[in-house]
Each structure stands twice: as structure tokens, then as C-alpha cells.
Amino acid sequence: MSIPRSSGVLLHPTSLPGPYGIGELGVHAHAFIDWLADAGQHYWQVMPLGPTGYGDSPYQAFSAFAGNPYLISLQDLRTDGLLQDSDFDVIPEFSADRVDFGQQYIWRNQMLDRAFAHAEAALMSGEHPLHADFDRFVTQEADWLGDYALYTAIKATQGGLPWNAWPEALRARQPEAMAQARQTLARDLLRVSFLQFLFFRQWNTVREYARSKGIAIIGDIPIFVAMDSSDAWARPEQFQFDAAGQPTAVAGVPPDYFSETGQLWGNPLYRWDAMQQDGFKWWIERFRGSLKLFDVIRIDHFRGFAAYWEIPYPAETAVHGRWVAAPGHALFQAIRDALPGIDIIAEDLGVVTPDVEALRDDFDLPGMAVLQFAFGGGDFSVNAFLPDNLRENQVVYTGTHDNDTTRGWWAHAEESERHAYRVYTSSDPSEETFAWALTRMAFHSRAKLSVVPLQDVLNLGTQDRMNLPGTTGPQNWTWRYRADALTPALSAQLRALTEETGRLIRF
């Protein structure tokens, strides 16, 4: 594992500030990187960057390979001449604190349509300055881009219905129907491909800038893909589907800290036998694609590679499922053979059994610890998340995107948890000081890497949490910070802690 003793901040790009209602891959992304560098941080952790649909969760994307066009910087398109000043004559009133995804779906797509229209004729004729780069991108990403563009274009003609509700010929990808769709929807395919090109072009610029500042990017691979995704539509033979394209079983987790009835995710489950027969080709390409976005890959729900919770379809909750073994060792050996030197973090939270620990440790993968989980149960000798019980080859968080903010957690913590914290630390923090106290605890731990959500750095409360698992509430995934929140004083404070705890990487 090449991760040094270091630290970083968790922030999804949608949470960046900016004038157009959602974080973008432009000037504010660069400014955040500057702030991270000033604060002595070595990592920026983001969530999956794929295109989102109903519910707006980055963990339920329409593609495991594509980027989210909502993140494309409109101002950069204007600078590049792909948008004109007149395109900005009518701009809705946007919230500076929350993303309105419905508003983005309408207005931003209109702006992206205009950008494509401005470039279309020149692209088709080969005269546009970006033509050669665009052609190269389409060729390099052909393994997924064609299917994604066709899926997206057909989905639009079907009123947004999921692929398994399309007419049989389209659902089953019958050759004549596919040929007809490619011909009829040629312009739409070009548009989708061009927007993907713009996303990756801008992301690569952001990533190169981060590298120039000594910042590496950690990004997520969710173990499962969305049911309504180009991946499931294009490769149904690798998923547990019946002849009509309906899942026979779906993914989730059993009852846990977050939910008494578990979490019914609804993602289709893999046919691991089919995947193993072709040497896990799709998985290798998925990791290879993620390395084009990230320097380090965090696998969300790593335990599912040892055994996954299989829930019969249909079901109303995740309670009546069962654990089923998965070929994790064979998969990760194939990935290591194909992509030597890849850096992976295993999200090993939840029900961690000896087979999960063996899979993690056999490949020397750092697992995760969350300090908000450290003070339940009352037995300091067995709680794996207490700082004294952490391992060096581990990533410690105050909280994650699925937790309350640390200030919010302390405000709502059980008295038994508050008491355990006071006993363990011989201190009694206030709500105002607790987030920084837990951040200091994370940074002082022996864990190799410490990551803190930006909400905790900013000392924000429950109203600013990123997600409440098991819900599709309007607050989920919508939080944004304001540009003036990242002050020089805050960066100096975080840098001092980073240096004090031996986590400063001099660049």
C-alpha cells in the first residue's frame, strides 16, 4: 500500500460553491484544491462521479463508467466558446446552500444542449478544434461509451422508463432494433458522447491541477450497479435476471446500526459464475476506468466480495435475506494481476466476519474505522473503532457521508455514548468543540490515513449532513458550502494539526 501517513477531506463535487446551483469542475474546484494544499492535506475524497437519476444518489448511477454531466463547468464552456454570452441571458434563481436536482435537470440540460448545438456542425464536419480529441476519446472509451449513449438516448424516447420496461426488442437488444435505434438516434448518441467527452476533459484538468498541488484523489467504486443502468442493460447475462429482465434477487444489508429492518438497496446481484468464467473482464475494466478518475479507489461495501446479502425479489424490507459467498479472492487476484500497484481501500464497516477480514488482509488492503461508532457498547477492550484499537493499515474517519455530522452526532448521542467518551478521554466537550476534538483524535491515531468530512471541518450540525441511509428525502445529497466558509484561519488550524500529528506531506 503506497498511502503514507497523511490526511484528507471528504467532499463530493456537487457540494462545491458556484453560481449555477450545483458544484462544478471549474474555478471553485480549483479553489478547493488550493485550500486543501494550504491546509496541508494530501487527499481529496469524493463519492462516485457517475450520472445520477431518481433519488440523486451517486451510489445509484446510470453507468459504472460514465461521468455526471451536471458537474460540467458552464463557465469553462463559455471560455472555450461552447456557450455564448447570450446563452446566459435567463438564469434561474439558485440556492447557494442546496442543490435542486429537479431544477438542474431542466435548466442545465438546456444549457448543455446549447453547448452541443454550437459545436455539432463543426464536429460532424471534422472542423471543430476539439474534433481530434473527441474522436480519440470515443475510440478509447468504446467498450462502454456506445452502450451508455444508446441506453441514454433510448431511455429518453421511452419517457425515462427503466430498460426492463421498454418494448421487448429494445429491452432484449435485438440486432434489428439496435441498428434502427443507432440510425434514428444518431444525433442523440453524438450528444451524449460529446457531453461525456466534456466531463472527462474537465475532470482531467481538475485532477492534473490537484497533482500539481500535491493532492491525490480518492474515489468510490460501489460494489453494485443500479438496476436501471446501461451496465445491467448491456450485459444482462452477468446479473441475476429472469427472461423478462426482472431481477430474481436484489442487494441490501441486514438490520444494523442504521436501520432495524436493514437496507433494501434493490441493486441487481451478479452472476459470479459467469463473471469468473471470462476472468472477471468487466470488473477489471471497471477498475481500469476508475483509475482514469482517481489515484486511490475506495470500494464501498467491500464485505460483499466475501459474502453478500441476497434478498428475494420482490420484497418490502431487507429482513428476509441470506448470506451468499462470493469469489472475492479470485476477483482481487485477477485485478492485481491486471493492474499491479493499484491502491484500494476496503470499506469494511457493518457485519465484519472472519472471511471478510481474511479477504482484506490477504491483499493487504486498509480497512476503515469511524470514530462516531467508537463509544457504543461500553466495553473499551473490544470496540474496534476506539483509537487504542486501531491498526496502522487503516483509514480513520470522524464520520462518513452516511453519518450525521460529528457535531450533530454529539448533540443527539445516547447518554451512554457521551459517558463512554468522557470516561475514555477524561474530558467533557461542548457541542461547539466536539467536532474538533474528534478530528484531533482521528489525526493523533496510529491509522495511516485520516479523512474528515468538510462538514466536520466547518463544525456544522445535523441540518448539513449529506445523506440519511434508507431514505430518499429531499435533503439527501444536496448539501453545499459557501465559498467564504474556507477561511485562511481554518486552513492554518488544520495544517497545524496535520503537522503536529506527523501527517504533513511536504510537496
CA neighbor of 481 nearest in space, from 463, 505, 502:
463
- Specify whether 120 is catalytic: no
Rounded Cα–Cα distance for residues 137 and 129 (Å)? 14
Distance of CA 244 to CAs 95, 237, 240, Å? 43, 12, 11
User: Which pTM does this prediction carry?
Assistant: 0.97
Per the residue annotation, which of 228, 300, 348, 417 is the catalytic one? 300
- Specify whether 56 is catalytic: no
Per the residue annotation, which of 141, 188, 295, 347 is the catalytic one? 347
3-state SS assignment for residue 88: helix
Per the residue annotation, which of 402, 404, 417, 456 is the catalytic one? 402
What pLDDT does residue 351 have?
A: 80
What pLDDT does residue 325 have?
A: 97
- Specify whether 402 is catalytic: yes
What pLDDT does residue 413 have?
A: 96
Rounded Cα–Cα distance for residues 13 and 199 (Å)? 13
* Residue 415: alpha-carbon gap to chain centroid: 33
Residues 368/345/296/267 CA torsion (nearest 10 deg): -100
Rounded Cα–Cα distance for residues 231 and 226 (Å)? 8
DSSP annotation string for 335-365: HHHHSTT--EEE---SS--HHHHHHHHHTT-
Ramachandran class of 450: left when φ > 0, alpha when ψ lies in -120 to 50, beta otherwise = beta
What pLDDT does residue 156 have?
A: 97
CA neighbor of 49 nearest in space, from 344, 367, 289:
289
What pLDDT does residue 80 have?
A: 93
Per-residue confidence in pLDDT tens, the chain, 507 aa: 589 999 999 999 999 999 999 999 999 999 999 999 999 999 999 999 999 988 999 999 999 999 999 999 999 999 999 999 999 999 999 999 999 999 999 999 999 999 999 999 888 788 888 989 999 999 999 999 999 999 999 999 999 999 999 999 999 999 999 999 999 999 999 999 999 999 999 999 999 999 999 999 999 999 999 999 999 999 999 999 999 999 999 999 998 776 889 989 999 999 999 999 999 999 999 999 999 999 999 999 999 999 999 999 999 999 999 999 999 999 999 999 999 999 999 999 988 999 999 999 999 999 999 999 999 876 777 889 999 999 999 999 999 999 999 999 999 999 999 999 999 999 999 999 999 999 999 999 999 999 999 999 999 999 999 999 878 888 999 999 999 999 999 999 999 999 999 999 987
